[in-house]
Amino acid sequence: DAGVIQSPRHEVTEMGQEVTLRCKPISGHDYLFWYRQTMMRGLELLIYFNNNVPIDDSGMPEDRFSAKMPNASFSTLKIQPSEPRDSAVYFCASRKTHAGDSSGELFFGEGSRLTVL
């Protein structure tokens, strides 16, 4: 299994530009999560989807952030316009609905390191 795949791995952009981060979850996983990690705030849950439907986006910091999941194998996190305080590592993770021994276990992607100048 290829695992959770994220792109790009690194992104450097200027303030005001649009940023799009991409995620391909593990095949068969019906939950997808977007997290942000910074030194100051640690690991924060931004939004999560179940069967492609957003379930809870209360962690999305503001309207500049949006996320979509058009199908079971692809999700995007968009920041428009980007600001320097958005600089962080963004992780995507996926899992299956509670079932057997894998109940609740999250599988993380390698992350996308975003730097906004």
Applying CB under 8 A, which residues contact another protein?
A: 31, 33, 42-43, 45, 48, 50, 56, 91, 93, 97-98, 101, 103-106, 108-111
Nearer to another protein, 58 or 71 (CB): 58
Give which of 62, 73, 58, 57 is closest to 23, Cα–Cα.
73
Q: What is the DSSP letter of 25?
A: P
In this structure, what is the dihedral angle of CA atoms 68, 35, 73, 115, given to the nearest 10 degrees?
A: 80
CA angle, 104 as apex, 100 and 106 as ends, to 5°? 120
User: CB 43 → another protein: shortest distance, Å?
Assistant: 5
User: CB 21 → another protein: shortest distance, Å?
Assistant: 14
Nearer to another protein, 80 or 103 (CB): 103
Q: What does the alpha-carbon distance between residue 114 and residue 14 come to, in Å, rounded to a whole number?
A: 11
Peptide bond into 8 cis (omega under 30): yes
User: CB 69 → another protein: shortest distance, Å?
Assistant: 15
The one-letter amino acid code at 36 reads R
Nearer to another protein, 82 or 109 (CB): 109
User: CB 79 → another protein: shortest distance, Å?
Assistant: 20
Nearer to another protein, 25 or 111 (CB): 111
